[in-house]
């Protein structure tokens, strides 16, 4: 029941945040990159599959919302499932706002010419291989860094203990 009482406040806050985001997007559109610059940014994000990780945001939010409401009102599970699905479908077109923001970020970070060069590179076999490989290499790099950190931590603790013991035995 706590969820239901706080939900209107969260909805109002969300609406305010959304309105602010939309206003800032509108402001950016006035002073922001040209259409061709944004088109070049879009080409890069498509070629690099930059937006794919965001595909799960709405389904995850829908699942979390569905779960929270079902826990709060288990007798209304069927209604909650139907309404959540309906609302998720209504919100799906808002994904374009995220995409536009990402295109704008790319356009603000690179010139149009640079974006066209990047899009050309990422459209090559090597560029596609890089796109596929980066998540794997990054994941393995992070795992390697954690292993190295753990080993270094163990070694540091051992060496400090040994040195402290040496100091103690010398006294």
CA distances, 97 to each of 25, 91, 92, 102 (Å): 8, 11, 10, 9
* pLDDT above 50: residue 6: no
The pLDDT > 70 percentage for the chain reads 82
* pLDDT above 70: residue 1: no
Query: What value does the mean pLDDT take over residues 6-14?
Result: 41
Comparing 3-7, 51-55, 65-69, 146-150, which segment has the lowest mean pLDDT?
3-7
Query: What value does the mean pLDDT take over residues 140-168?
Result: 97
Q: Which of the two residues, 50 and 25, has the higher pLDDT score?
A: 50
Model-wide pTM > 0.75 = no
* pLDDT above 80: residue 9: no
How much is the CA Rg of the chain, to the nearest whole Å?
A: 25
Cα–Cα distance between 10 and 36 in angstroms, integer? 38
Distance linking the first and last C-alpha atoms of the chain: 65
* pLDDT above 70: residue 106: yes
For residue 2, what pLDDT is reported? Answer: 45
| 3-class secondary-structure state, position 52 | helix
Q: Which of the two residues, 4 and 139, has the higher pLDDT score?
A: 139
Q: Which long-range contacts (CB under 8 A, 24 or more apart) does 154-160 make?
A: none
For residue 31, what pLDDT is reported? Answer: 77
Confidence of residue 29 (pLDDT cuts 50, 70, 90): very low
For residue 30, what pLDDT is reported? Answer: 57
| 3-class secondary-structure state, position 74 | helix
Cα–Cα distance between 48 and 41 in angstroms, integer? 11
Please give the biggest Cα pair distance in the chain: 76
**Contacting residues for 65 by C-beta, under 8 A, at least 6 apart:** 84, 87
CA distances, 135 to each of 3, 107, 109, 130, 170 (Å): 37, 23, 22, 9, 52
Cα–Cα distance between 30 and 94 in angstroms, integer? 20
């Amino acid at each position: 029941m706590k969820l239901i009482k706080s939900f209107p406040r969260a909805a109002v806050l969300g609406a305010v945040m959304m309105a602010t985001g939309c206003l800032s997007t509108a402001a950016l559109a006035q002073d922001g990159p040209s259409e061709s610059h944004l088109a070049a940014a879009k080409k890069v994000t498509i070629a690099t599959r930059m937006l794919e990780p965001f595909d799960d945001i709405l389904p995850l939010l829908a699942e979390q919302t569905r779960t929270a409401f079902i826990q709060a009102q288990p007798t209304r599970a069927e209604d909650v499932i139907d309404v959540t699905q309906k609302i998720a479908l209504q919100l799906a077109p808002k994904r374009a706002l995220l995409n536009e923001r990402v295109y704008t970020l790319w356009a603000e970070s690179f010139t149009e010419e640079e974006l066209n060069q990047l899009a050309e590179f990422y459209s090559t076999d090597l560029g596609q291989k890089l796109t596929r490989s980066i998540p794997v290499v990054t994941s393995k790099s992070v795992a390697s860094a954690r292993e190295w950190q753990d080993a270094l931590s163990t070694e540091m603790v051992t060496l400090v203990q040994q040195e402290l013991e040496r100091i103690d035995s010398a006294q």
